[in-house]
Amino acid sequence: MPEAATILDPTLGWILLALFGVGWVSLGIYWGRKAKDLEGFMVAGRNVGLALGTATAVATWITSNTTMLAPQFALQLGIWGMLAYSTASIGLFLFAPLARRIRAIMPTGYTSVEFVRLRYGKVAHAVFLVISLFYCLTWMVSMAMAGGKLLEILAGIPYVYGMSVILAVCVIYTLFGGLYAVIGTDFIQSVIILIGVVVVAVAVMGRISLEDIHANLVEKRPGLLDVLFPAAIMALFNNMLFGIGEIVHSNVWWSRAFAMREDVGRKAYLLAGVLWLPIPVVAGFLGLAAPAMDIPITSPDVVGPIVATEVLGSVGAILVFVVVFCSLASSIDSLLAATGDVVTTEVVRPLFMPDANKKQLRIAAGFVIAGIGLVTWLVCLPNVGTLATVLFFAGPLVGSAIFPIVTGLFWARASATAAVLAMVLGSAGGLVAYFELGWYTGALVGTGISFAITMVGAAVGTGRFDWNRLAAEDIGS
């Protein structure tokens, strides 16, 4: 990409990348001193407080999509676009009671896949493992690819270099520090992101009043203010269910529930939902401001950075670069840690190290994280654009896991057979809907089918699960 087309000077981009890269790795190694054993490495000693617990949920859920795609959503779908994005916070709110329950019934647990194995048995475990790994790996690939592309657009850093550096930095500090490093860096990243988006938004409001932006939209693009914007309203429901499915099933969120102190999980997830809620609106507002400021938008996916740079000059470009880098790192490190935990305890351990103790599993977890990073890098290397969109196929899959997980956590009569059928048929039906009806129906149909099967299973099932079986398991002891 020619340098003139970039928003930030490439040299400055490299300097920032180096500074933050060295910073995160140093912190990871420093915090890694506490991650010598499996409890420390995978669940941060199960003693995380409210500040770090809240921040890690906020930072992880703010992906580069939140900061980059929200302005594009607003520019194309208007106010409903911003609100649709904000509904992803509902997943955080709904996970709050689940986090408390998870911590209470699995005091020595490590992953969501472990829960499904103990709660529903081997078949459900296999199905859920496939869903979990597909989701985590596609999310990670899409984030790493987005990182490479964004650094190229923002600072002219070639895709392969940018993607490789971001991935390598996250792998190294996660490898050394485990969840301690992930949660610690997440705190710093969440504060940087929140301050960054606020500064840019206030600067834009200093340049043009909100009343003028509204008046401009009424005159030139009234569709963006339409209360009944059908496509945007459908996007809202799909986004909400996809978001709920992502959070309820994924070990990214379960590992944090295991890591937080027993009295912290519920409060942390509720507060995280409140803190995350405004981000898509604040970022999305930049998209709506662009037409009113007469800023020519040739590429809608970079409308946010363009507006920030127009208003704040090079300071705006640096802010956007830093916010995007933090958004990427905070998600990639969490995915590395959470996926590494699942692969180590639920794939490597039963297949290759059935008698391994916690110390051996701690060492294996490091190799697994390095391996996941390498596989992700190899998949991202050719920069096949369609790969990133594969993540959207995960909508029906994760939607179909919502009710088996939720009922499995709270109802002793939730049936294992129904859980398997709900996940398999829900995923299949949702994927058919995705391709035959439209992308916005995939998660909705998958969740609907799964809900019906789960409820019927619970109604006709005669078995009663013994909750003590969950508490009794302690991997590697």
Contacting residues toward other proteins, per CB under 8 A: 34, 44-45, 47-52, 54-55, 58, 79, 82, 180, 183, 187, 190-191, 194-195, 197-198, 201-202, 205, 210-211, 213-215, 218, 222-223, 225-228, 261, 271, 274-275, 277-279, 281-282, 285
* Residue among 195 and 374 whose Cβ is closer to other proteins: 195
* Residue among 123 and 208 whose Cβ is closer to other proteins: 208
Query: Is the separation of the CB atoms in 87 and 235 below 8 Å?
Result: no
Q: How many CB atoms lie within 10 A of CB 115?
A: 23
Q: 3-state class of 336 per DSSP?
A: helix
**Beta-carbon contacts of residue 162 (< 8 Å; ≥ 6 apart):** 17, 147, 148, 149, 150, 151, 152
Phi, psi of 397 (to 5 degrees): -65, -50
* Residue among 82 and 84 whose Cβ is closer to other proteins: 82
CA distance 455 to 338: 29
| Shortest spacing between CB 202 and other proteins, in angstroms | 7
| Shortest spacing between CB 238 and other proteins, in angstroms | 21
| Shortest spacing between CB 293 and other proteins, in angstroms | 15
Q: How many CB atoms lie within 10 A of CB 205?
A: 14
Query: Is the separation of the CB atoms in 81 and 217 below 8 Å?
Result: no
* Residue among 34 and 207 whose Cβ is closer to other proteins: 34
| Shortest spacing between CB 236 and other proteins, in angstroms | 14
* Residue among 31 and 403 whose Cβ is closer to other proteins: 31
Give the number of C-alpha atoms closer than 13 A to the C-alpha of residue 133, restricted to the C-beta side: 16
Q: How many CB atoms lie within 10 A of CB 237?
A: 15
| Shortest spacing between CB 194 and other proteins, in angstroms | 4
DSSP per-residue letters across 254-288? HHHHHHB-TTTHHHHHHHHHHHHTTHHHHHHHHHH
| Shortest spacing between CB 33 and other proteins, in angstroms | 13
* Residue among 130 and 281 whose Cβ is closer to other proteins: 281
Query: Is the separation of the CB atoms in 398 and 439 below 8 Å?
Result: no
* Residue among 284 and 396 whose Cβ is closer to other proteins: 284
| Shortest spacing between CB 20 and other proteins, in angstroms | 18
* Residue among 183 and 414 whose Cβ is closer to other proteins: 183
| Shortest spacing between CB 60 and other proteins, in angstroms | 14
Give the number of C-alpha atoms closer than 13 A to the C-alpha of residue 58, restricted to the C-beta side: 30
CA distance 293 to 286: 10
CA distance 373 to 339: 10
| Shortest spacing between CB 212 and other proteins, in angstroms | 10
* Residue among 14 and 176 whose Cβ is closer to other proteins: 176
432: burial class by Cβ within 10 Å (0-12, 13-18, 19+)?
middle
Query: Is the separation of the CB atoms in 27 and 176 below 8 Å?
Result: no
Phi, psi of 48 (to 5 degrees): -75, 135
